[in-house]
């Protein structure tokens, strides 16, 4: 079947580019509808524009000419057009008889196409894929384009070309997936912004949607509401006083200065300064352990999304009242372009709602301190997250069990060094025994952390301090890598990768199998000397 070029994949392939005429169509369309349009809506405008151009071009190419079909009867000097050859034009210069045992008798026409003679079959009575029907039917077929089908098939290609092109042009403005013409935006002045700030302040900072803010701003009622909304959102986005905190597809504003302190500033225990290390040192077993721990600063990719994500709480997050924004946790979160996002965690058992904050760049979720305290979640406790009933809601849970007294590592400070002892504590949740470590002297541990930070102590130096007292708690004098990871994060924020690399790099740390390690103090002294 012969198709117009616009209906072929080649037309919309790698060489497809936007023209100035396309951009003018977009501009005129936005001026006409006077409302913001999504990138998909604009792509449809481009596709429809190209269909119109194609139709006009085909009509021009067909004007005064006959569509070549093998079944046709043609005469010398007749003007033909060949759709199968990109609508090339030609003039019949000769007609002769032909014969083929499979086809019988037919005519052979000689046609001059761009000063080159070519021969084609004519008066062919057998079925042929280049036959359309009569002339009118042939023209109708060539001009017929299913715009909806063309859009469904090629919208992604057009969008990929549109996005960067529009972003380079100052006359267009984008918010999320919507675009508009800057000249048609409603005026949002300094007074409007001050009013918006006051409205949010009266609402405890927010969140408020633009539709909740707009009625208080006394904007021109003659301007379409969608334009008012778009213009307000754009103005608020440019002002650092305001944060857009909703998931993709929604808009909600919050007053930045009224966000919790742990959102405006990263809690000091969560601050991670990247530590260079030789990653090839990590064995496949250590890499597997790194993936299991799923630290938010680890260079790992999330597996296929799980229905339930379970992870082990480490000291910095217990101290700050936060959750790690790790690779697995991120798969559960609603998408958003905002650097800070407010979502709801719903306690799976009590149905208590916790309004928490996602801080993307620093990779944590803030606002669980009271929940940890109320449920007595220890360092090493298992936390569970799963998708909730709405996109902006996650179910929060832990492995609940009757409280019973367990032997727990407790850290204390002696002579400005961290020490450990085993003591019984009441535990009411599931936990990883290898990672459980607590303390009754938080302020003293904080002082050690600040001293380590001030002195810029290396990972190896910290390991040499924590290893002996930990090893003394077991007859084998061994310490598991997970325990070292949990404990070292009491003194410095360290993901598993750099920690494991130091264990491998220094001969004073000796692997004993199953991720257990021993420490040779004499060899450590030799290395230091």
One domain for residues 47 and 75:
no
Q: What is the pLDDT of residues 436-473, one digit of tens each?
A: 999 999 999 999 999 998 888 999 999 999 999 999 99
Helix (H) or strand (E) holding 461: helix 459-471
Q: What sign for the dihedral angle of Cα 491, 495, 496, 502?
A: negative
For Cα atoms 472, 467, 448, give the angle at the middle one, nearest 5 degrees.
115
One domain for residues 366 and 254:
no
Q: Which domain holds residue 102?
A: 70-131
Q: What is the pLDDT of residues 255-287, one digit of tens each?
A: 999 999 999 999 999 999 999 999 999 999 999
Q: What is the pLDDT of residues 325-374, one digit of tens each?
A: 999 998 888 887 888 999 999 999 999 999 999 999 999 999 999 999 99
Beta strands in 367-469 (DSSP E): 382-387, 393-398, 400-414, 417-429, 437-439
One domain for residues 501 and 520:
yes
Q: Cα(128)–Cα(102) distance, rounded to whole angstroms? A: 13
**Residues in contact with 380: Cβ distance below 8 Å, sequence separation at least 6, in sequence order:** 312, 313, 431, 432, 433, 434, 435, 436, 437, 486
Is residue 306's pLDDT more than 70?
no
Question: Who has greater pLDDT, 69 or 194?
Answer: 194
| 272 falls within a domain | no
Domain harbouring 248, CATH code: 1.10.10
One domain for residues 303 and 354:
yes
| 269 falls within a domain | no
| 263 falls within a domain | no
One domain for residues 49 and 168:
yes
One domain for residues 294 and 252:
no
| 83 falls within a domain | yes
Find, among 272, 258, 245, the residue nearest to 200 by Cα.
258
Q: Alpha carbon 340 to chain centroid distance?
A: 14
Adjacent-strand bridge partners of 34: none
Find, among 486, 492, 452, the residue nearest to 271 by Cα.
492
| 322 falls within a domain | yes
Per-residue HEC secondary structure of 394-410 comes to EEEEECEEEEEEEEEEE
| 250 falls within a domain | yes
Q: What is the pLDDT of residues 95-135, one digit of tens each?
A: 888 888 878 888 888 888 888 888 888 888 777 777 776 65
- pTM (2 decimals)? 0.77
pLDDT tier for residue 9 given thresholds of 50, 70 and 90: confident
Share of the chain above pLDDT 90, in %: 53
| 280 falls within a domain | no
**Going by DSSP bridges, is the β-strand pair 322-324/308-312 parallel, antiparallel, or unpaired?**
unpaired
Q: Of 329-333, 374-378, 524-528, which one has max mean pLDDT?
A: 374-378
**Going by DSSP bridges, is the β-strand pair 400-414/437-439 parallel, antiparallel, or unpaired?**
parallel
One domain for residues 337 and 420:
no
Q: Nearest 10 degrees: CA dihedral of 293, 296, 302, 303?
A: 20
Question: Who has greater pLDDT, 392 or 493?
Answer: 493
Question: Among residues 401, 419, 439, which one ends one of the domains?
Answer: 401
Question: Among residues 215, 234, 258, which one ends one of the domains?
Answer: 258
One domain for residues 431 and 508:
yes
How many structural domains does the chain have? 5
> Rounded to 5 degrees, what are φ and ψ at 155?
-60, -40
Domain harbouring 343, CATH code: 2.40.330.10
Residue 263: per-residue pLDDT: 94
One domain for residues 94 and 200:
no
| 281 falls within a domain | no
One domain for residues 123 and 191:
no
- Give me the chain's average pLDDT, please: 88
**Residues in contact with 336: Cβ distance below 8 Å, sequence separation at least 6, in sequence order:** 246, 247, 248, 358
Q: What is the pLDDT of residues 407-431, one digit of tens each?
A: 999 999 999 999 999 999 999 899 9
pLDDT tier for residue 137 given thresholds of 50, 70 and 90: low
One domain for residues 371 and 307:
yes
One domain for residues 380 and 445:
no
Min mean pLDDT across 88-92, 144-148, 401-405, 506-510 is at 144-148
Find, among 260, 372, 264, 398, the residue nearest to 315 by Cα.
372
Domain harbouring 102, CATH code: 2.30.30
């Amino acid at each position: 079947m012969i198709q117009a070029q616009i209906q072929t994949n080649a037309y919309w392939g790698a060489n497809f580019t936007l023209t100035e005429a396309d951009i003018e169509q977009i501009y005129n369309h936005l001026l006409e509808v006077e409302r913001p349009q999504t990138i998909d809506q604009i792509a449809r405008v481009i596709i429809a524009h190209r269909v119109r151009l194609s139709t006009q071009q085909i009509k021009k190419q067909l004007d005064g000419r006959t569509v070549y079909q093998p079944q046709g009867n043609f005469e010398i000097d007749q003007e033909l057009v060949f759709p199968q050859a990109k609508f090339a034009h030609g003039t019949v210069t000769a007609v002769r008889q032909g014969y083929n045992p499979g086809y019988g008798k037919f005519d052979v026409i000689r046609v001059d196409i761009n000063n080159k003679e070519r021969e084609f079959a004519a008066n062919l009575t057998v079925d042929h894929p280049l036959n359309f029907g009569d002339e009118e039917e042939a023209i109708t077929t060539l001009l017929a384009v299913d715009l909806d089908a063309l859009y469904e098939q090629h919208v992604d290609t057009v969008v990929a070309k549109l996005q960067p092109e529009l972003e380079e042009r100052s006359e267009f403005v984008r918010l999320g997936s919507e675009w508009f013409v800057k000249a048609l935006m409603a005026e949002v002045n300094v007074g409007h912004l001050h009013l918006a700030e006051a409205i949010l302040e009266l609402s405890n900072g927010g969140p408020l949607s633009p539709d909740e803010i707009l009625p208080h701003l006394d904007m021109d009622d003659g301007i379409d509401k969608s334009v008012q909304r778009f213009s307000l959102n754009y103005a608020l986005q440019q002002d650092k006083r305001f944060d857009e905190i909703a998931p993709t597809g929604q808009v909600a504003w919050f007053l930045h200065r009224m966000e919790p302190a742990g959102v405006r500033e990263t809690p000091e225990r969560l601050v991670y300064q990247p530590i260079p290390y030789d990653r090839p040192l990590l064995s496949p077993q250590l890499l597997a352990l790194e993936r299991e721990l799923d630290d938010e600063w680890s260079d790992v990719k999330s597996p296929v999304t799980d229905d339930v994500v379970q992870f082990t709480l480490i000291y910095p997050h217990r101290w700050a009242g936060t959750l790690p924004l790790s690779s697995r946790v991120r798969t559960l979160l609603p998408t958003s372009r905002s650097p800070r996002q407010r979502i709801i965690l719903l306690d799976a058992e009590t149905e208590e709602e916790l309004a928490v904050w996602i801080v993307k760049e620093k990779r944590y979720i803030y606002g669980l301190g009271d929940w940890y305290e109320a449920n007595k979640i220890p360092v090493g406790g298992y936390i569970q997250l799963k998708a909730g009933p709405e996109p902006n809601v996650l179910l929060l849970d832990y492995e609940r069990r009757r409280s019973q007294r367990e032997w727990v590592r407790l850290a204390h400070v002696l002579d400005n060094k961290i020490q450990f002892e085993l003591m019984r504590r009441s535990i009411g949740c599931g936990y990883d025994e290898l990672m459980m470590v607590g303390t009754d002297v938080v302020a003293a541990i904080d002082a050690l952390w600040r001293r380590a930070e001030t002195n810029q102590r290396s990972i190896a130096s910290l390991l040499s301090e924590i290893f002996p007292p930990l090893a003394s708690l077991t007859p084998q004098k061994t310490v598991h890598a997970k325990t070292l990871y949990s404990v070292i994060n009491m003194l410095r924020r360290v993901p598993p990768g750099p920690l494991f690399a130091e264990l491998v790099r220094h001969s004073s740390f000796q692997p004993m199998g199953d991720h257990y390690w021993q420490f040779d103090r004499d060899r450590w002294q030799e290395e230091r000397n």
